[in-house]
Amino acid sequence: MSSVTPLTADARIPLRGHLRHTGALIRRNLLWIRQDPESMFDALLMPVVFTLLFVYVFGGSIGQALGGGQDGYVQYVIPGMLAMTSMTLSQGVGTGFNQDFNSGVMDRFRALPIGRGSVLFAKIAVELVRMLFATTVLMIVAVAVGFRITDWPGLFATVGLSAAFASAIMWVFITLGVVMKNAQSVQAMGFLVLFPLQFGSSIFAPTDSMPSWLRTFTDYNPLSSLADAARGLMVGGPVAHDLWVTLAWSVLITAVMAPVAIHKFRTKS
């Protein structure tokens, strides 16, 4: 029996090898999506459902409070929806990872002479592709309901910022995908994480009228910073503070959770 540990085997693989393995796994995951197009339904339908729901159900009342009616609310909520989409789709990497473990796919990967990190990075890359599809659908629906794109560079910067934050959050869900017993548990835990972060933020409405204790939570909620930065980039307003706070959260979450996720993946029996 070989005494080479996964960590030692990884150390023997050069950077070019890791990149080649990651590229091959990305291609494998994209081919799987092509063979199972239903796996894209959440990425394609969720932006449509949430945009129509919040614009036409809540847009009138919240828009009046904002002083701009429904049209004003569209300009307010769409940048926040971009932030929410990146966060929500991040959960998919955890459930998919868990399903691969339970189906034996990960056992075959770990038996191959490939970098263990390549498996994780490939998963994240493919989820970012799904996020770009969802963002495209969201913006098409947004324009259809009256959103005015006045700053194209700001829009692209928002997509990049959302992708950076989403990739950081994916490390959290990868860890959950490794340690939880089944995909349903990952989804349940993801809901407990996502629900308070999404609705306890400035994504859907300003936080000024919230109770002081909840406003304190929203002030430190990274999704509020992401939504406010997106709003400033896309429709105008302060950007710098929320931009740097979002980047700081992204770096911090990645620095803490990426080593944990890789370690759990290597040592999972």
In a domain, 235, yes or no: yes
Q: Do residues 183 and 97 make contact, with C-beta atoms less than 8 angstroms apart?
A: no
In a domain, 15, yes or no: yes
pLDDT in tens, 201-211: 988 888 888 88
pLDDT score at 66: 73
Separation of alpha carbons 123 and 95, rounded Å:
11
Q: Which domain holds residue 162?
A: 6-267
DSSP line for 94-145: HHHHHHHHHHTHHHHHHHSSS-HHHHHHHHHHHHHHHHHHHHHHHHHHHHHT
pLDDT score at 15: 63
What are the angstrom distances between the C-alpha of 217 and each of 97, 162, 243, 245? 31, 21, 18, 15
In a domain, 95, yes or no: yes
Q: Do residues 134 and 46 make contact, with C-beta atoms less than 8 angstroms apart?
A: yes
pLDDT score at 114: 67
Q: Do residues 186 and 173 make contact, with C-beta atoms less than 8 angstroms apart?
A: yes
pLDDT score at 16: 67
In a domain, 1, yes or no: no
- Full-model pTM: 0.85
In a domain, 146, yes or no: yes
Separation of alpha carbons 10 and 68, rounded Å:
56
pLDDT in tens, 11-70: 566 666 667 777 777 887 777 777 766 667 767 787 788 888 888 888 777 777 777 778
The number of folded domains in the chain is 1
With a cut of 70, list the residues of the chain below it in pLDDT: 1-18, 36-39, 42, 107, 109-116, 269
Q: Tokens at residue 68, please? A: 């701009």
In a domain, 184, yes or no: yes
